[in-house]
Structure 1
Amino acid sequence: MPDLRLALLQAPSPAGDCAAAVSAVEQALSAAGAARANMLVVPESFAPGYNSDAIAELALMRGGAWQDQLAKACRNAGCGVVFGYAERDGDAVYNSALALGPDGAELAHYRKIQLYGPRESSIYRPGDAYVSFDLAGHKAALLICYDVEFAPHIAALAAAGVKVLLVPTANMLPYTHVMRATVPAMAANHGITIVYANYCGIEGDLHYAGGSLIVGADGDVLAQAGMGPALLVADVPQVEAARLSTQARDYRRIG
């Protein structure tokens, strides 16, 4: 398969300023493109911000001027983007992620399946479908934050041939075990590269955990951020077959 170079943005929340969110992604795309990345992943609900008090009012319509602006930035940078945002669809609001290619064309659109806690459930409707797409010759899929902590979702995507998971997230303290253990274990157990793009800093009553990371299909951490803003870029290596999990083949169902 062709080589794949992936990037992620770890940044503070735009805190309700959707224009600032798009501008920040434009700048990150320029840098990721200069590093010849194929795709940049940014945090969950980056517009208008995960912990905004006005998500329903600020939620964006799919296909609006903001999407045209991001598409233009992708073309200028020669790099695609996975953009987490609050999506307005009629009376409903979804926690969504949009994937645009280096040519600005829409590759995939996904709605978060596993809403986290009563706050998310009070704001959003859950999604009900996986999505996958071709990313430079690799089969890729989108999940959002809490989704990636559920092994059945990862197993289903792996069974469908997905090799790369791109995951916008908004993980807060004290849940550092997700970056330290859960995401690498999911990658290793299912033979999937995972890009997990988190916030840093403070938004309202949330202190984000940072720690964004890119993990190879054997569970090796290829790049990881600390607690502050970061732009990470990593090449996805070809992993020897002997290092890949055989759990899907070996699993014995009891009962």
Structure 2
Amino acid sequence: MQHVNVGEEHEKGSSVTDDQSPVGAGEAGTAVVAVAQVPSVLGDPDANIASMARWLRLAADRGADLTVFPECALSGYMMDSRAQVEAAAVEATAERLAPLVETASDTGSFGVLGLLERDGDKVYNSAVLIGPDGIVGSYRKQHLPRLGADAFVDPGDGKAPRVYDINGLRVGIMICFDLRFPESARELALGGADVIAMPTNWPLTAGFLADHMTRVRAVENLVYVAVSDRCDRESDTDFLGRSQIVAPSGEVLIDAGTEEGIVLAPLDLTRSRTKTLTFDDPPFSLQVFDQRRPELYSALTTPTDRSTGDDHHVWTRNHR
């Protein structure tokens, strides 16, 4: 892929191949984020850990402060039993992920990696944030579509998604299907996230997510969205690719298309922190989050019951 310019935003994204020159880490108030569009070996965590460590080093050598990897990057996704999920699950510890932690330490960079996380008798579809000092934090997928590995994992434990500050870059994490729930992204934005790192396993049929929904989440929350998908084939499923980094304006800074590799973009962190809309004619600015009225949104936290009274499976609100 060639360099991509994004017009008036004065930001650009670039692809990474072994023969390219390093990309600078940017000026103060910026951070370089990469998304890795790379394959996994189904059911082989050790092979995947070694592979992702190589890609992490490559991205860091090109200037990435943070690299986002796909959902279930360390395990693969298209599984058909709980036993298969359990066999591919690993503990989210610095010891188990040592090659990745060592690479982060060597390069001074950070990575968000999808994995099947074993915790006691539970297995979660998780994303772990690693850095030079080990495990920074993790997130367990809260919304499960009951496909692939998600049909057999345990749901996220309900803890609010956390925002992690890594050398001044505030990172929030969601995973794939979470994108369909605006509350998840908004919670991260309210927590101060500059960028939402989103590992995913989009199939070929998910093009509308890459075309529209990532941009909507970026615009409505005035944050960057960094999505990492796969572009290979696993079992009978072809993955879409389209890993991308989207600006708070909704501009796609870079899209990886359908090729394996890493793409990067510098993020201007002032744009993700002002939460201000500006207009030229007439000159006008508006602090978006100041206009929120959460006292009116109680319906968003009211549980729903699924009615089976007809063939349409209508969802009705529980006011009891």
Could you tell me the TM-score, scaled by structure 2's length?
0.74
Distance 1:191 1:179 in 2: 17
- Please state how far the C-alpha of 1:120 moved relative to its aligned partner: 4.5
> Number of matched residues?
254
Q: Which runs of 5+ in 1 are unaligned?
A: none
- Please state how far the C-alpha of 1:194 moved relative to its aligned partner: 0.8
Paired amino acid for 1:6: V
Q: Contact 1:84 / 1:97 at 8 angstroms: preserved in 2? A: yes
Correspondence for 1:93 among 120, 123, 127: 123
Mean CA deviation greater in 240-249 or 90-99: 240-249
Name the Cα RMSD after superposition.
Answer: 2.1
Distance 1:64 1:242 in 2: 42
Percent of paired sites with the same residue: 26
Paired amino acid for 1:143: M
Match of 2:178 in 1: 147
- Please state how far the C-alpha of 1:246 moved relative to its aligned partner: 5.1
CA distance change for structure 1 residues 140 and 245 in 2, over 3 Å: closer, same or farther? farther
Residue 29 (structure 1) aligned with residue 56 (structure 2): yes
Q: SS at the partner of 1:196?
A: strand
Distance 2:141 2:191 in 1: 19
Distance 1:209 1:188 in 2: 23
Whose radius of gyration is greater, 1 or 2?
2
Paired amino acid for 2:192: G
Q: Which runs of 5+ in 2 are unaligned?
A: 1-27, 279-284, 300-320
Q: Contact 1:187 / 1:194 at 8 angstroms: preserved in 2? A: yes
Match of 2:290 in 1: 249
CA distance change for structure 1 residues 155 and 66 in 2, over 3 Å: closer, same or farther? same
CA distance change for structure 1 residues 80 and 212 in 2, over 3 Å: closer, same or farther? same
Within-5 A mapping of 1:164-179: 164-179=195-210
Match of 1:122 in 2: 151
Distance 2:223 2:167 in 1: 16
Correspondence for 1:162 among 193, 201, 209: 193
Within-5 A mapping of 1:1-255: 2-53=29-80, 54-63=84-93, 65-101=95-131, 103-117=132-146, 119-127=148-156, 128-129=158-159, 130-237=161-268, 238-239=270-271, 241-243=276-278, 247-251=288-292, 253=296
1:33-66 Cα deviation digits (max 9, x unpaired): 1112111110001121111442221200121643
CA distance change for structure 1 residues 160 and 78 in 2, over 3 Å: closer, same or farther? closer
Q: Contact 2:144 / 2:151 at 8 angstroms: preserved in 1? A: no
Could you tell me the TM-score, scaled by structure 1's length?
0.91
CA distance change for structure 1 residues 119 and 31 in 2, over 3 Å: closer, same or farther? closer
Paired amino acid for 1:170: N
Distance 2:60 2:150 in 1: 36
